[in-house]
Amino acid sequence: MRRWMIIILLALIFAALAMYCARRNSGITSLTKPPEDKVQLSGGTGGHSAAILLDGRRSSCFGDEIVRTTQTAVVNSILAPSGCDSRVAAFVQDKAMYYGDPAAWTDGSDTLQVPLAPMPQLPISIWVPLLPPPSGRTEGEGVLTAIAHIDAARPIYNNMQCGIGFEDAVPIQEKRALNSISAGCSNLGPVKAVGYTPGRLNVYYVQEITDASGAIGIHCAADPTVILIDAMFGVNATLSHEAGHALSLDHTNYIDGLNDPVPTGNGDFVTNLMLQSGYNQALLSTGQCFRCNLNSSSAINTLGARTGPTPGCHAVNSTAECPELSFDVVPK
């Protein structure tokens, strides 16, 4: 073969290779990397894992998507809302619940900053009997019982990431008149005459609750700043349970997912805090914690301890703002 023919053949081969590579490279460069969005917590989590709940838009609207992180969560691509509900909530121990509308999401890569604030404290004043106590009781037992009940409430609401605390020094006052007072929500005059602090949840330990047969505790709908507890029969979870009512929660006996015992792994089990007559009540769902914070009727809002949106939630069902009551039953 003549040399000039070989040169032409090689030139054609190189030209064909160049065109092939150009087409492949063109195809590769047209495949752009999808945006990567993040949620970044600020304010410190103390090493605890936060539950972050997202509503937004990807290829379509989505809701109640949960991710967990101690600082930064990669949430893939969340697009500009374009008609979809766009919200983020964050729950973590020792911090207030965060709830916001992240209008900052774009179709590009975004990092949403979620500032974590100190946990609001539910303001409570407690009134207990003074000596002489009922038969078999000891001096100062009313105060010790109330302290034990508050100490039991703190880890329930904190461990379950509700973002609601109880003051380090809850005022507890002994009142001799409570040695003989039985009371009901229909007539609170006698107990409020013993003592009452406006702007706080007032808890009275009485001899008997007269308008709820067999009750060891009751939150009064007629005056939502009052809780009555049976001084003799109230147990550690009683105050926590009644505080749950003050925080807008109802009983969960007929709510699927919240009315079953949960094994602890050591042969024992725990139940939801709002289960009526439950055993070892220590659980709250993220759906319940939503309502504790976002319902305007919740004591954390009515008593001014929390500032923030109160869109309100359906008692059980999910809405654009709130997940179902049983959502994320054990949020750890």
Contact 101/86 with Cβ under 8 angstroms? yes
- Beta bridge partners, 42, equal 115
- Residue count (the chain): 332
Q: How many helices and strands (H and E) does the chain possess?
A: 6, 17
Residues 6+ positions from 187 with CB-CB distance below 8 Å: none
pLDDT tens per residue, the chain (332 residues)? 555 555 555 555 555 555 655 555 544 444 566 678 999 999 888 899 999 999 999 999 999 999 999 999 999 899 999 989 899 999 999 999 999 877 678 999 999 999 999 999 999 999 999 865 455 556 578 899 999 999 999 999 999 999 999 999 999 999 999 999 999 999 999 999 999 999 999 999 999 999 888 899 999 999 999 999 999 999 999 999 999 999 999 999 999 999 999 888 788 899 999 999 888 899 999 999 999 999 999 999 999 999 999 999 999 999 888 999 999 987 65
Closest CA to 39 of 82, 83, 86: 86
User: Could you give the residue ranges of the DSSP H alpha helices within the chain?
Assistant: 3-29, 141-159, 189-194, 236-246, 286-294, 299-302
Q: Give every strand in the sheet of 37-42, ordered side by side.
A: 72-76, 37-42, 111-115
Residues 6+ positions from 252 with CB-CB distance below 8 Å: 258, 259, 272, 274, 275, 276, 325
CA 313 to CA 129: how far, in whole Å? Answer: 38
- What domains can you pick out in the chain, each with its CATH number? 37-115 (2.60.40), 120-316 (3.40.390.10)
Owner of token pair 């005059």: 189
